[in-house]
Each structure stands twice: as structure tokens, then as C-alpha cells.
Amino acid sequence: MYTKILLTVAIAASSLLASDLLVDAKKAGLKPIPSDEKELLKLIDNPKNPITPEKVELGKKLYFDPRLSKSGFISCNSCHNLSEGGDDGIPAAIGHLWTANPHHLNSPTVYNAVFFTSQFWDGRDPHLEAQAQGPIQAAPEMSATPEHVVATVTSMPEYVEDFKVAYGKDVKITFAKVADTIATFERTLVTPSAYDDFLNGKEDALTKAQKDGLKTFIDKGCTTCHNDIALGGKMNVFNITGTYKYQNVGDFRGDKNGMVKVPTLRNITQTAPYFHNGQIWELKDAIKEMGRIQLGADISDKEAASIEEFLKALDGRKADIILPQLPASTSKTPKPDIN
């Protein structure tokens, strides 16, 4: 009887602590991916180009099609690999003619990018639709022209029919329409996690170590930058209380105000190397460096390990993505150009 009473008290205390942590998390600006599909759709949909199954499936084909690139070898998935963290796992993105990004910029993950208020490291575009046009045209990336993209897509009757099904029989296939369709697919790349389950009210979704790590994460001030649904994705000043020790690798210094897009922490265990120039490989080292240069905090090994344990709870549930079968090229399809 006495043991049962103690057990009941312990469970009640644990539940109370979890509730307090939940309150603290919400006060810190942390928000979950909604568990309700209708509520989620409100967040990820684009009213100007509503999500439909037909657009998503067509967007997926275009996302995986390397023929949109000048070389015929590089697709969106080359740098944003959906088989792992939605990035490429190397310090600087590699593009056309095996060219490393001239600014030594690391490829951000495409997973959950729909929740970002800023796209690109310098935040120059707010929406995925605008972002999707950039890498296709960038010389060190896919190095294609809008004309090449339109000629490629319209050369294949299956693609032409797919666009009619997705947009109506009178659709005009333009470069912007192709990018919009890719973005529609990207809008669906959302990965809810145990962390979201916890914030949505499931108190046992996190382990004790993960809850402790979340508390450390909040107490240390990490939520100053890593907040809202994406735990990042907004612009913030970089090098606030110190200078990043690899600042001189590459010439990127942020936008004109020294602002840099805060990377999402979702699936962070899968997106090494870290920082805009991909110079730190160990998550614990990235945590300590962020504390030093952004918070003026000396994060101990124990605290870094605690935060890292919490970050593991951000590994999301990814939908199974079946590799699409692409239309066959025709005599009108532009030939690969590796020059």
C-alpha cells in the first residue's frame, strides 16, 4: 500500500514537471507541427497555387529530373537528398562541372523548409516558389536557363499531359510554373517528431534525458534564435558575442546588415557538417560554438551533451518517397551540355 502511494506521488510529480516544461517551452516561442492535418494544410499551403495530389506528384518528378540542369546530370535531389537529411552531407555544395560553391556555402535541408520565413543563407527570398528558381539558374549549381527548362519539359508529351492534369488543359508551361510545381512538392516535406508529440500534449513522448535537454536548451537561451515551428528559418545577426572560428572559410558575411538565416534544428543529427560553410562536423562542438558566439555562454560538455540528447528528439518521421519514373527523352529534348 505504502509503495503504491509513493508510486502515485512520483507519477503525479513527473506529470507536473512535464506540464511545467511544456509551459516554459511555449513561453520560449516553441511551437509544434500541428497533429491535425487540416491545421497543418493551412500552414503549408499556398493560396495562390493550392496543393493538390496531381501537382505534388508532378513536382516530385521535376525535383528528381536531372535533365532540368545544363549537364543533364544534376537534379534538385543532388544537393537536397531526400534519402537522408534533405541536404548533401558535404561542407560546400557541388554543382555544374564539379564546381564547389564559390562562397563555400553549405546546402541547407529542404525538409520543413516550408516553415522558413527566409530562404537562402542571406534570406533574399521569403517563399519556396521563388527559391526554387535560383539553383536551377545558378552557374555553379544546375547552370540552366529558363529557356532550357521549358524546352526540356515541353519536349516530352508525358510532362505536357501531366501539366494539363495538374493545372488544366489551357496551362502554359513556363519556367515559373515549373519552379512553382517543384515548390508544391517541397511544401509537403514535413517531418513531425517526438518533440512535436510532446508539445501537442503527449507528455511521455520524450525521454527524461530529452526533457532535461529541452530545459537546458531553453535555460541557456538557445530559443532566442531557434524558435517557432521550424526552430530556425528566420534572419538573425551572426557573431553577436564572439567571432565564429571558421569565419574566414568562404566570403559569406550575411546580408547587408550582417544577418544570416538561422538553420532549422529539425533532423539536425542528419545534416552535418554544420554552419553556413559546413566546417563543424560534431553536433556537440556546434552547440558549444553557437553558445560562445551567439549567447556569450560557456556551455560545458555536460550541458552540450544534454542539449544534444534533446536534439535527437527532433529526428522526424519522413513519409516514404517512391522514386518517380520519369518520361523518356525525345528527339526534341535538349542534349546534355557539360561545358
Query: Any idea where the domains of the chain sit in the sequence?
Result: 20-35+192-314, 40-186
Confidence category of residue 16, pLDDT binned at 50, 70, 90: very low
The pLDDT, as a whole number, for residue 1 is 54
pLDDT tens, 169-224? 999 999 999 999 999 999 999 999 999 999 999 999 999 999 999 999 999 999 99
Side chain identity at residue 1, one-letter code: M
Does pLDDT of 9 surpass 70? Answer: no
Instruction: Judge whether residue 13 has pLDDT over 60.
Output: no
Q: Rg of the chain over CA atoms, in angstroms?
A: 22
pLDDT greater at residue 7 or residue 136: 136
pLDDT greater than 70 at residue 244? yes
Which of 12-21, 83-92, 93-102, 144-153 is least confident?
A: 12-21
Nearest to 241 by CA among 276, 196, 290, 202: 290
Q: How confident is the model at residue 143 (pLDDT cuts 50, 70, 90)?
A: very high
Q: What mean pLDDT is predicted for residues 34-51? A: 96
Mean pLDDT score, 212-239 = 98
Same fold, 20-35+192-314 and 40-186: yes
Does domain 40-186 fall under CATH 1.10.10.10? My reply is no
pLDDT digit string (tens) for 293-311?
Answer: 999 999 999 999 999 999 9
Domain 20-35+192-314 of CATH type 1.10.760.10 = yes
Is the predicted pLDDT of residue 164 greater than 50, yes or no? yes
Give start and end residues of each alpha helix (H) in the chain: 2-27, 37-44, 53-64, 76-79, 128-137, 146-154, 157-167, 175-186, 194-199, 208-219, 283-290, 301-311
**Residues whose CB is less than 8 angstroms from the CB of residue 76 and which lie 6 or more positions away in sequence, other chains included:** 62, 63, 64, 110, 132, 135, 182
**Res. 11: pLDDT tops 50:** no
Which pLDDT score, from 0 to 100, does residue 6 have? 45
- Kindly tell me the sign of the dihedral angle through the C-alpha atoms of 261, 262, 264, 269: positive
Q: What is the pLDDT of residue 12?
A: 42
Residues marked as catalytic: 141
CA–CA dist 226, 28 (Å, integer)? 10
| Packed helices 146-154 and 175-186: angle between N→C axes, nearest 10 degrees | 80
Q: What is the pLDDT of residue 17?
A: 64
